[in-house]
Amino acid sequence: MATPLPRDPIADARLNWERHGWSDVAAPMAAITAIMRTQQILLARIEGVLKPFGLTFARYELLALLSFARSGALPMNKASALLQVHPTSVTNAVDRLQQAGLVLRSPHPTDGRTTLIELTPEGRTLAKRATAALNSEVFAQSGFAEHDVDQLIGILGTFRRNAGDFSE
Checking 101-104 for CB contacts under 8 A at 24+ apart, the result is 102/59, 102/63, 102/126, 103/62, 103/63, 103/66
38 scored as a contact of DNA (CB under 7 A): no
Site residues (CB under 7 A) for DNA, limited to 69-128: 75-77, 80, 85-96, 105, 108, 110-115
By the 8 A CB rule, do 90 and 83 touch? yes
**Residues touching DNA: how many (CB under 7 A)?**
29
Nearer Cβ to its own copies, position 24 or 109?
A: 24
Task: Fill in the DSSP letter of residue 2.
Answer: -
- β-sheet bridge partners, residue 107: 115
Residues 132-151 that bind its own copies (CB under 8 A): 134-135, 138-140, 142-146, 148-151
Contact present, 102 and 126 (Cβ < 8 Å): yes
For residue 100, the partner it binds in DNA, its own copies, none, with Cβ less than 5 to 8 A by kind, is none
Contacting positions for DNA (CB under 7 A): 40, 44, 56, 58-59, 75-77, 80, 85-96, 105, 108, 110-115
